[in-house]
Amino acid sequence: MLLLFILFGCNKNKYDFGQIENGFNQVNVLTQEKIFDNSLHCAFTDLVRHNGAYFLVFRNGSDHGGSRDGTVVVLKSDDLKVWDRVKEFKYLSHDLRDPKFLIDPNGKLVVSCVGFLYSATGYLLDRSFLLFDLDRERKEPILKQNVGFWPWKIERDGDSYYTIGYNSTTNILNLYGVSFAPSFKVLCNFNHLGTSLTESVIRFYDGKGYIVVRSKENLYIGIVEDLTDLCNIKWKSFPIEEFGGPNFLKYKNTLLIAGRENIGQGNSAAYNRTVLLKYDLASNEIIRAAVLDSQGDTGYPGMVMDKDILVMSYYSTTGENKAAIYLSKIKINF
């Protein structure tokens, strides 16, 4: 941690609003270890604890995106030490991307993702939302629906499901209600926030909704005080550019926000890191609480809270030709 502070503690050039300070005394990074690696590019993780076990999912392909051969791999662990590869999902010739876990209405753990099918000339033939059942022997999707947007992580509040989906080509960012026909119903639109709105997450805690939105210019944090009116959102913005693949959890009166941040000058990928931010809901202050061992193509974390220990998955190309999957345990000290 001292070395990380020396390397990054004085780097404030990215921020012009009172400057986000490093707050490495707020957390203690206990472990950082590689848990999966092969000759392919392993990326875009999600993590969940279900029925006493941990499940980790990621995309496995020849490259970050241009390879168009992505599959979905699921690992399972009872102790966060030994990980077994339990599933690999494919669908025809589709490139499967950004897998996420959710608990379906029957209480089953399932995996959602978006599958892209291209012609030989690169024309997009099909973009489909797919659901895969972990308990099913057959590996074809249990649900498939063609969609004109990119559904991100689906979250549950009681018996209702929601997701925030985007289409960067048409600059659309919507909050959707989700049913398992499947179908998506537009509830409200966030286009007023600006341009280049992409990966976004909504979560629900203690009768409120919390939203984190990525854009090229800012990181947006939204709070829904009344869940009967999900479109009445109080927004805060912070000039954190291109915070890739954000995910977050609520801990006490803060949001722990993780993702990829460029902490150097000139936007070189050499300065990309997977980081953890702490956003104080009362003071509206945000600090960088940890910089993990990561570099280059990195980020897109999965997060599980176990009392005061944050368990976080992510991927990184640190010292590798291709990206590998990492797991970190972080002690929260506040």
Q: What is the pLDDT of residues 11-52, one digit of tens each?
A: 333 433 334 667 889 999 999 999 999 989 999 999 999 999
Supply the pLDDT for residue 21: 67
| Distance separating the N- and C-terminal Cα atoms of the chain | 17
Give the domain range for residue 41: 11-332
CA distance 105 to 49: 17
| Residue 1 counted as domain residue | no
Phi, psi of 4 (to 5 degrees): -60, -40
Q: What angle do CA 5, 329, 204 make, to 5 degrees?
A: 105
| Residue 260 counted as domain residue | yes
Could you tell me if 141 and 91 are in contact, meaning their C-beta atoms sit under 8 angstroms apart? yes
Q: Which of 175, 163, 131, 126 is nearest to 148 (CA)?
A: 126
Supply the pLDDT for residue 192: 94
19 token code pair: 């400057």
287 token code pair: 């600090």
Phi, psi of 142 (to 5 degrees): -85, -20
| Residue 120 counted as domain residue | yes
Number of domains in the chain: 1
pTM of the model: 0.92
Supply the pLDDT for residue 9: 34
| Residue 27 counted as domain residue | yes
DSSP assignment, residue 280?
E
Residues of the chain under the 70 pLDDT cut? 1-21, 265-266
Could you tell me if 178 and 161 are in contact, meaning their C-beta atoms sit under 8 angstroms apart? yes
- Name the 3-class secondary structure at 206: coil
Supply the pLDDT for residue 24: 87
Supply the pLDDT for residue 51: 96
CATH number, domain containing residue 139:
2.120.10.10
Supply the pLDDT for residue 182: 76
| Residue 4 counted as domain residue | no
Supply the pLDDT for residue 219: 96
Provide the residue type at 45 as one letter.
T
Q: Which of 141, 122, 136, 118 is nearest to 72 (CA)?
A: 141
| Residue 3 counted as domain residue | no
